[in-house]
A and B are shown apart, each in its own frame.
Chain A
Amino acid sequence: GQNIDQPTEMTATEGAIVQINCTYQTSGFNGLFWYQQHAGEAPTFLSYNVLDGLEEKGRFSSFLSRSKGYSYLLLKELQMKDSASYLCAVREGDTDKLIFGTGTRLQVFP
């Protein structure tokens, strides 16, 4: 079966660091994506991991451990505009389908 788990909600303070975890069980694995979705808007691509390790992109970093079925998205120097839902998605190896988690709603407070 396929299962992707993320925390439902998180809160953090402006300027802080927050880590959003994602664990997955899928039929094969062909990469993990993180998307950001502001309320009422379309998801936008943040990062892609297919090999173990850390990928850094400015204030955002994403980590993957394939053996543990685990990823996290790290957001540094949080800004108010980072308040959004963060979606973890896995491409199944067997079908190539992109399977999404239910998302983590992050609220950043001043």
Chain B
Amino acid sequence: KAGVTQTPRYLIKTRGQQVTLSCSPISGHRSVSWYQQTPGQGLQFLFEYFSETQRNKGNFPGRFSGRQFSNSRSEMNVSTLELGDSALYLCASSLVARRGGYYEQYFGPGTRLTVT
């Protein structure tokens, strides 16, 4: 079974530009979560999608947005990039997302975004 895939793996953008990152979950997984990882802050939750609906959102500005398609693939978009947005963006998928239930998240390799 193929794992979580993310594209592109590396990206260099300039301040003020926008960027779209893509995530394909493991087949059959309907929940997709996005995280930002930086050396100082660790892994920070961005948002979670389940059945094309945003189920949860972290404490990030509105410049960060996402969506999920009917095939469970997800994209996240960052507009008006800032230097501080340089980070590793990780996507994770899981089998179910029922509240209070246990689910294991499988992470993709991440997209390394550098903003200059």
Interface residues of A (CB under 8 A from B): 30-31, 41-45, 48, 50, 87, 89, 93, 95-103
Contact = CB atoms under 8 A, between A and B. Distances in A.
Given A96-B100, A97-B56, A97-B58, A45 B105 contact: yes
B90 A97 contact: no
Nearest to B110: A42
- Mostly, the A contact residues are loop
A99 B41 CA distance: 12
Contact of A100 (B43, B97, B100, B102): B43
A35 to B, nearest CB: 8
Contact of B100 (A30, A44, A48, A87): A30
Interface of B: 4, 33, 35, 40-45, 48, 55-56, 58, 90, 97, 99-100, 102, 104-110
Contacts, number: 48
A100 B58 CA distance: 12
A42 B108 contact: yes
A43 B43 contact: yes
A43 B107 contact: yes
B104 A42 contact: no
B43 A87 contact: yes
Contacts of A89: 43
